[in-house]
Chain A
């Protein structure tokens, strides 16, 4: 292959770069960080959403850790309940955790029965190269909380971002367990 092929093709490369930049802006809304409001609007379009803060007890923390196999670092959670025509169609929780040394916050939205409806990233302070994309997140959608909801089982890893994949998986498990424990406490479901 001749040397400087790419110098001679500079105009072509500039065109490719411009296309990439354009594409980046077009798909901007579909990938990367969103606000909490955007996440809720995407998960529950047209629904009325109310918010509340959850204060967990020690016993609830133990139950969540047992169910999720993930540590619970905070007893304070934000919960959002979505209703349509007065009927609960789902709930969402904000889970904040550390990836390597920096924070990530996820809005994990659930169906009314507790299965994952949608996951959005609102904060990711590690280098952007390590963020999990929507296709990867979609592996969780519709899944119940069971032993198979784990990396190298139904959840595939992210090449080069193993820690992100593990952290997100644990966060989703934690939120699903939290939802289950709260619903058991409210008498909506039985253990």
Chain B
């Protein structure tokens, strides 16, 4: 094949791509020309690169439509078109039109929007379905409870990039197929690539699951109980703060409205979440986390929460101060997956709370709660399956949660609030976005009221 024929084929191909691009974006040919002219004016995108540049500054649309005898000129035009298309496809902001540029070109905002490749809506989501088959009897032989099959969560995530600096993130959840919740909705101001300010309904940055609660991310059919009773995921409150991420260190630090402690119980802190709905804001809290990633696939860190939870319900000087601390870590290496977390909650004014709510004996709110878990998994197909292929990961989890680790003077512990769970199961991912999990959870406590269960879950994320 001659060089001339090859060049002609390249020209036709480049022209075809240009026409397709223009058509798909409903942009006039004049707009394309404005890009070409702009590129010429800039003298090419890489000043330090010895790229061929457009030398014919007087080239016009009419000229490009005429057959060219000069093969060198034809090649330059093809190269220019290809470069423009490749740059546009890359999303690099060198071709983004400012409002002034758009106005100068007589483009209405909607017409100019096509150039704002860095802006606009993004959509994602996840969901999970959970079948829970409970044992017929508890540890002590008393009756268990009925099995359930729940459309546990279906979530749509939407984000909108107003500009390079201002970004909106929202997550809207339908729980149990009927309850709509706003999981989070916040606006980020990205001051630099590494540091930003965030405000809105934010996820409290604690533990391993609360911020990364997609079923394709956490192991097990159910979230760990420690991250249900002590770090009550999905835990979100109204607030604002700062965040930062560097290569090996990341942090978040927020001020949020405090818990509504009136709904605390001997079973944990979960009832105190206000979830952003007309939240009482007599007491605020600070929360934050610091994570270190010493090597890819391995990270560890800690998080805290501290603030009042009374919201005025216990009278002057009694704020039901609540402080939670956790330490966590995770390692994913060569198909192995190890995760662990320990959390501790301290509650001030527990006596005042118990007196106000007429809670006596072992029904009272504790001064201290603690829990933790460690889990191990190994993807049996990690070293053999095709790239992006299926994963099959058996796992075990050991967990212990005590929601009455220390009771106030005059109150006693319930034998049923210190629970152990031993879980064995597997997860199968036919592709990274879809997971089927099956596990068996053995539950024991000193009251012999532990109830075993067999679970099957289907999850997805996109």
Q: Give residues in A with beta carbon < 8 Å to B.
A: 1-7, 13, 16-17, 20-21, 23-25, 27-28, 30-33, 35-37, 40-41, 48-53, 55, 68-70, 74, 76-78, 80, 94, 96, 100-103, 105, 122-123, 125-129, 133-136, 138-139, 147, 150, 152-153, 155-160, 162-163, 166, 169-170, 173
A3/B193 in contact, CB under 8 A: no
Which of B57-65, B130-138, B244-252, B410-418 contacts the other chain? B244-252
Given contacts A4-B306, A51-B46, contact A94 B90 (CB under 8 A): yes
Asked if A5 and B306 sit within 8 Å, CB to CB, the answer is yes
Count of chain B residues with a beta carbon within 8 Å of a chain A beta carbon: 82
- Specify which of A74, A76, A152 is in contact with B334 (CB 8 Å cutoff): A152
Which chain B residues lie closer than 8 Å to A37 at the CB level?
46-49
Pick the residue among A27, A123, A126 that contacts B246 (CB under 8 A): A27
Would A53 and B217 count as touching, CB distance under 8 A?
Answer: no
Q: Can you give 11 contacting A-B residue pairs, CB < 8 Å?
A: A20-B251, A31-B194, A31-B245, A40-B46, A51-B49, A69-B388, A76-B89, A96-B90, A129-B245, A136-B296, A159-B212
Given the complex, which residues of A lie within 8 Å of B10, measured CB to CB? Answer: 55
User: In this complex, what residue of B is CB-closest to A139?
Assistant: B296
Among A23, A126, A128, A163, which residue has its beta carbon within 8 angstroms of that of B193?
A128
**A20 and B299: CB pair below 8 A?**
no
In whole angstroms, how far apart are the Cα atoms of A61 and B169 in the complex?
A: 37
Let me know if B194 and A123 touch, CB within 8 A. Answer: no
Contacts of B216 in A (CB 8 A): 162
Contact A70–B122 (Cβ < 8 Å): no
Q: Which residue of B lies closest to A158 (CB)?
A: B296
Instruction: Tell me the smallest distance from the CB of A11 to a CB of chain B, in Å.
Output: 14
Q: Is B354 an interface residue (CB 8 A)?
A: no
Instruction: Assess A31 versus B247: contact at CB under 8 Å? Given A76-B82, A80-B49, A122-B92.
Output: yes
- Complex Cα spacing A32 to B192, Å: 9
**A158, B212: Cα distance in complex, Å:** 12
Please determine whether A3 and B50 come into contact, CB atoms closer than 8 angstroms.
no
- Report which of B169, B193, B212, B379 forms a contact with A31, defined as CB distance below 8 A: B193
B319 contact set on A, CB distance < 8 A: 3-4
